[in-house]
Amino acid sequence: MMTGEASKKNLKKPPAGKMEAPVPARRTPGSPPIKKNPAGPPALKTPGAPPVRRKEPSPPALKTPAPPPAEREKAQPPASRTPAPPPVLRPPAAPPVTDPLRAYLAEVRRFKLLSREEEARWVELYKATQDPEAAHKIITSNLRLVVKIAMDFQSHWLNNLLDLIQEGNVGLMQALRKFDPGRGVKFSYYASYWIKAYILKYIMDNWRLVKVGTTQSQRKLFYNLRKERDRILKEGLTPAPRLLAERLGVEEGEVEEMDLRLSAGREISLDAPLGPDNDQTQGGLLPADTPRPDHLLAQLQFNELLKAKLDKFRAALSPRESLILEKRLLAETPVTLQEIGEEFGISRERVRQLEERLKKTLQVFLSREIPDLTGPELG
């Protein structure tokens, strides 16, 4: 065995300028783990070795600005999406009834129709007791009849159909008051005439601002003129006013007048302007009732001339003839022949003779003084 000194001698020293690398320590079993320095031991500079160059820091990289969201979405491919399931279709709710006519028709359908036996029983009960419930039952069961008749007259009345239905309902109530169950007639058949009468009267009263059915012949023409014209056309004839007048039993002039009223348009107010940019009214186109100015001037000159000639004629008359001229020929309210005869003490026949002679004398005088004066102007 070597002694400690020999072992020390045998250890070789490292050459100058060189250093030994450290020997890693060995781990003895059971000893705690040795922590390694992550950075490692500091590098030792060897004499004569070239200096270690440090890396220069690189300049910071330029950041490219991010594209706007719209371009970013275009650049990226659309992601595949799973289609949504179709919506569940539900039946739409019924819209509320806003039309008054539809609402009324829906209300009328609620009432039950009566058989002939039931209707007769309710009518007899109403006539015997005047029971309001019986009247209500009869009226409500015939409301559909009123609607049907009103629709037949809708071509004559282009306005609100409810107006005709309302008038027909009034006629239905009047029919119930006038109905006699002992005649053996069905109430609905009897009521249809009252319903038509009230509807026709309403149409005739509201057809024009000026009433057209003021006489019996005009009402007859208003109701039957169009029907008779259609009937003549179906026969292949021309519905001339004379033929219509013969068939309807009226005058030809009345047919022409009613035809003009029915075919004319709506009335126009005389104060309505002719147009949006025209201040002149419709009444300005009508001829004036006053005479023309030149006629007024001519009449004024003639009156002055006639007055002067009458004064000249009066100067040549006797007192009795002057009185007859003033109180009989020129007076607005002439006196009687008896009054003039009593004033002069003569008979009525003598006064009449004097008046006739005075008229002839005056006519001759005016014809001589005013040659242009004609016979009718003298009268």
Average pLDDT over residues 81-109: 71
28-87 pLDDT per residue, tens = 555 555 554 444 445 545 555 555 555 555 555 555 555 555 555 555 555 556 666 666
Residue 1 confidence (pLDDT) above 70 = no
Mean pLDDT of the chain: 76
Does residue 89 or residue 197 have the better pLDDT? 197
pLDDT tier at 184, thresholds 50, 70, 90: confident
Residue 346 and residue 321 in contact, taking contact as beta carbons nearer than 8 Å: no
Lowest-confidence pick of 77-86, 210-219, 302-311, 352-361: 77-86
99-206 is classed in which CATH architecture? Answer: Up-down Bundle (1.20)
Using pLDDT thresholds of 50, 70 and 90, give the confidence band for residue 246.
confident
The confidence band for 191, taking pLDDT boundaries of 50, 70 and 90, is very high
pLDDT of residue 209: 62
Tokens of 49: 């070795």
Q: What is the pLDDT of residue 208?
A: 66
Which residue's entry shows tokens 């008229």?
Answer: 359
Tell me how far apart the alpha carbons of residues 2 and 10 are, in angstroms, rounded to a whole number: 10
Mean pLDDT of 12-31: 50
3-state secondary structure the chain: CCCHHHHHHHCCCCCCCCCCCCCCCCCCCCCCCCCCCCCCCCCCCCCCCCCCCCCCCCCCCCCCCCCCHHHHHHHCCCCCCCCCCCCCCCCCCCCCCCCHHHHHHHHHCCCCCCCHHHHHHHHHHHHHHCCHHHHHHHHHHCHHHHHHHHHHCCCCCCCCHHHHHHHHHHHHHHHHHHCCHHHCCCHHHHHHHHHHHHHHHHHHHHCCCCCCCCCHHHHHHHHHHHHHHHHHHHCCCCCCHHHHHHHHCCCHHHHHHHHHHHHCCCCCCCCCEEECCEEEEHHHHCCCCCCCHHHHHHHHHHHHHHHHHHHHHHCCCCHHHHHHHHHHHCCCCCCCHHHHHHHHCCCHHHHHHHHHHHHHHHHHHHHHHCCCCCHHHHC
Cα–Cα separations (whole angstroms), residue 334 to 3, 321, 326: 197, 14, 9
If pLDDT is split at 50, 70 and 90, which confidence band does 369 have?
A: confident
Distance CA 243, CA 246 (A): 5
Instruction: Please give the CATH topology (third level) of the domain spanning 294-378.
Output: Arc Repressor Mutant, subunit A (1.10.10)
